[in-house]
Amino acid sequence: MKTYKDLPADGGSNIVGQVTQQVNRLQQRLASVRHTVAIMSGKGGVGKSSVTANLASVLGLRGHNVGVIDADINGPSIAKMMGVRGQRIDYGDDGVKPAISPLGVKVMSMDLFLKDDETPVLWESQTQKDAFTWRGTMEMSALREFLSDTEWGSLDYLLIDLPPGTDRLPNLVDLLPNLGGTVVVTIPSGVSQLVVKKSLTMAKKLLNAPVIGIVENMAAYVCADCGKTEELFPSGNTEEMASQFEVSLLGKIPFDPRISIAADEGSVFVDQYRDTPAGQTFFSITDEIRMFFESQI
Amino acid sequence: MKFLCLECNTAMEFKETTTPDQGSLTAIFECPDCFAEFAMHMNPWETQMLKSLNVQLGGRSEAAQPMEMVQSFLSQKNPNNLTSEAPVGSTEDGGKCPFASAVTEAFQEQEPTGPVWTPEALERLERVPSFVRSMAKASIEEFARENGHPEITTEVMDTARGNFGM
Ligand SMILES: Nc1ncnc2c1ncn2[C@@H]1O[C@H](COP(=O)(O)OP(=O)(O)OP(=O)(O)O)[C@@H](O)[C@H]1O
Ligand code: SF4
Ligand SMILES: [Mg+2]
Ligand SMILES: [Zn+2]
């Protein structure tokens, strides 16, 4: 009897062939992107999306061609923060045209595909239980499509806003073998930093890319009236964490309600409030990131 | 996965798939020598796997459209998007059949099941100020996972709260 090896390799289902084709398409698309940066944290709600949106805007203000991809398929927020929620998207000659922010940043997010703000991301499936089991794979397929089917054109920077946690990191390596680096967002609370440390370890282990640095968000509260600074979360120590992991601390963004308000309005905080402490910090963090890449050449 | 016709000692060839019936897809294979056919019924899990990867058994006659997976499987989508015709792509062939490796791959991508919020708990979560809400949500989910609560009730929230000193 013939064995597995004796049989011609093509049983006819062509699954691997199609997956290979998907990979090729992705590589072709990303060939015109100079630097891809993933924004991550182990913890939810620490400000990954806000940091991503503002860094992207600063890069845009600095004259770079910038794209942002919302990899938080299940809890998309980038479209709203970048002021592109509700923009209609359509086919171009070579894929789908991204939404464009007021500063010219190209944006692709699940938000843009949903009917309205209240609509959750539900995949068609036999049962909702199936949908739940398959959610991870569906999300990764969606992210692959966002990466490879968007007409990014040539970009200096493509920022990727990751969902909270480390569950998706292994998949990210498959999708982005040439990831330029990661930025890890934390807040200065002890509990949060424990979680962020775990994800730093995971990122170092799993991703084939350096950690560019840590951003401490909601570092302190600067009063808009009198400029007085109050600590918000006294227990953590980001400096210590940075030195323990031998990564740089890119900056400390104070808590500023206007970041939140701007995000809700879809206006650009860093443009409107350039001269506030938070605004300045976004600029200096961005410059650190630019220097990180420029020093590599 | 490959199939051999024992009668002829010939590799069976993939012939066609039928439309899914109750979530199960059927693939038909045929022996090119004696034309014997057999059907492979995939369980809903395998069927769903193909769908999630956005691949078609037997290959495609046309290249996948941009954002095809997002557009075809999202339940409630924005009807105004992607209304024009997608430019027609080229057809490419090639590729082999280790169905099994695709299955293995998909297994590695499985989502860990998270705790489910009861409506009462969700309602209470809504009362948390918006800028700390997603943080609170994540912390409580983490607490529930670590302590083995499959469901987040208001009681679980109370315990979690005590734990965090919130
Ligand atoms: N420095 C800051 N000052 C004030 N508000 C902030 C700051 N950073 C973030 N926020 C607010 O905190 C909330 C959570 O931020 P954001 O959505 O960016 O976090 P995230 O880490 O992306 O969350 P998720 O894990 O849900 O994706 C938002 O309402 C945002 O406007
Ligand atoms: S720091 Fe506090 S007390 Fe001082 S002005 Fe600002 S809000 Fe008022
Ligand atoms: Mg986010
Ligand atoms: Zn035969």
Render pLDDT for A171-191 as a digit per residue (tens, 0 to 9). 788 788 889 999 999 988 777
The letter for the amino acid at B68 is E
A212 vs A18, A56, A247, CA distance in Å?
Answer: 34, 16, 7
Closest ligand 1 atom to A163 CA: 27
pLDDT at A105: 97
Alpha helices per DSSP H over chain A: 15-30, 48-61, 78-81, 128-149, 169-175, 190-206, 238-244, 257-265, 269-272, 277-294
A174 domain-assigned: yes
| Separation of alpha carbons A67 and B89, rounded Å | 24
pLDDT at A205: 82
pLDDT at B23: 66
Q: What is the CATH number of domain B110-166?
A: 1.10.8.550
pLDDT at A288: 96
List the CATH number of the domain containing A43: 3.40.50.300
pLDDT at A60: 96
Band the pLDDT of B87: cuts 50, 70, 90: low
Residue A46 Cβ inside 6 Å of ligand 1? The answer reads yes
Q: Distance, in angstroms, between B148 CA and closest chain A CA?
A: 18
pLDDT at A140: 83
- Residue B27 near residue A14 (C-beta atoms within 8 A): no
Residue A44 Cβ inside 6 Å of ligand 1? The answer reads yes
Domain count, chain A: 1
Render pLDDT for A9-68 as a digit per residue (tens, 0 to 9). 656 667 777 777 888 888 889 999 999 999 998 788 889 999 999 999 999 999 999 999
> CA nearest A106: which of A122, A118, A95?
A95
Q: Does the beta carbon of B59 lie under 8 angstroms from any beta carbon of chain A? A: yes
| Ligand with an atom nearest the CA of residue A224 | 2
Partner residues linked to A157 by β-bridges: A35, A66
A144 domain-assigned: yes
Q: Which of A2, A3, A6, A14 has the highest number of chain B CBs within 10 A, making it the mutation to test binding with B? A: A14
Q: Does the beta carbon of B116 lie under 8 angstroms from any beta carbon of chain A? A: no
- Residue B34 pLDDT more than 90? yes
Q: Do A121 and B74 touch (CB under 8 A)?
A: yes
Residue A196 Cβ inside 6 Å of ligand 1? The answer reads no
| Separation of alpha carbons B83 and B67, rounded Å | 13
Residue B56 Cβ inside 6 Å of ligand 1? The answer reads no
pLDDT at A57: 97
Kindly give the parts of chain A with pLDDT less than 70. Answer: 8-13, 123-134, 224, 234-235, 297
Band the pLDDT of B71: cuts 50, 70, 90: confident
Domain encompassing residue A132: 15-294
| Ligand with an atom nearest the CA of residue A70 | 3
Q: Do B74 and A122 touch (CB under 8 A)?
A: yes
- Residue B111 pLDDT more than 80? no
Q: Do B138 and A45 touch (CB under 8 A)?
A: yes
Residues of chain A with Cβ-Cβ distance to B3 below 8 Å are: 11
A10 domain-assigned: no
| Separation of alpha carbons B80 and B68, rounded Å | 16
- Overall pTM surpassing 0.80 (yes/no): no
Boundaries of every domain in chain B: 110-166
pLDDT at A253: 94
| Separation of alpha carbons A138 and B53, rounded Å | 7
Who has greater pLDDT, B124 or B48? B124
pLDDT at A235: 65
A6 domain-assigned: no
Structure tokens at B156: 């679980």
